[in-house]
């Protein structure tokens, strides 16, 4: 029967020879290369976006949180006028993804919206045309 090195170590811990300094350095380098490979793969393939449905009104704001992504988009089935804290207003068209990638922590309110409405938020590394 053929075992992998790890299976052999698990079944026969005393039979496994002690690792030399060169072997330990090799394992460390292989571990670092594996970590680097995962990072490069993530950059090339992209990270999965975060999607959420959040409530917004004239008194209930959305706080911009990028969740370690590059862009934030908002989608609403209703046209809204968004009040961007300290920046002004933004017209949000119905049924359209709108880029709201402003400074993190910015509070956004739905101007003149007394009742709460729900909008979709997407934090992503990709742009939406």
Q: What is the pLDDT of residues 80-96, one digit of tens each?
A: 999 998 889 999 999 99
- Token code pair at residue 36: 């680097």
Provide CB contacts within 8 A for 72, sequence distance 6+. 64, 66, 99, 100, 101, 121, 122, 123
Q: What is the pLDDT of residues 10-40, one digit of tens each?
A: 776 665 566 777 888 888 888 888 888 888 8
The Cα–Cα gap between 49 and 71 comes to 10
CA angle 11, 12, 14 (to 5 degrees): 150
Helix (H/G/I), strand (E/B), else coil: 54 = strand
Beta strands per DSSP E along the chain: 50-56, 62-63, 71-75, 80-84, 88-92, 98-99, 107-110, 117-124
Q: What is the pLDDT of residues 48-66, one digit of tens each?
A: 889 999 999 999 999 999 9
pTM: 0.66
Q: Kind and range of the H or E element at 22?
A: helix 21-45
């Amino acid at each position: 029967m053929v075992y992998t090195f790890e299976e052999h170590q698990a079944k026969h811990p005393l039979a496994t020879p002690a690792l030399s300094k060169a072997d330990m350095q090799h394992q460390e380098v292989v571990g670092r290369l594996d970590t680097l490979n995962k990072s490069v793969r993530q950059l090339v393939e992209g990270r999965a976006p975060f999607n959420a449905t959040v409530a917004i009104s004239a008194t209930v704001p959305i706080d911009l949180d990028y969740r370690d992504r590059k862009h934030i988009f908002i989608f609403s089935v209703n046209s809204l006028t968004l009040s961007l804290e300290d920046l002004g207003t933004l017209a949000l068209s119905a049924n359209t993804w709108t880029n709201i990638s402003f400074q993190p922590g910015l509070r956004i309110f739905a101007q003149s919206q007394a009742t709460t409405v729900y909008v979709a938020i997407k934090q992503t590394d990709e742009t939406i045309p």
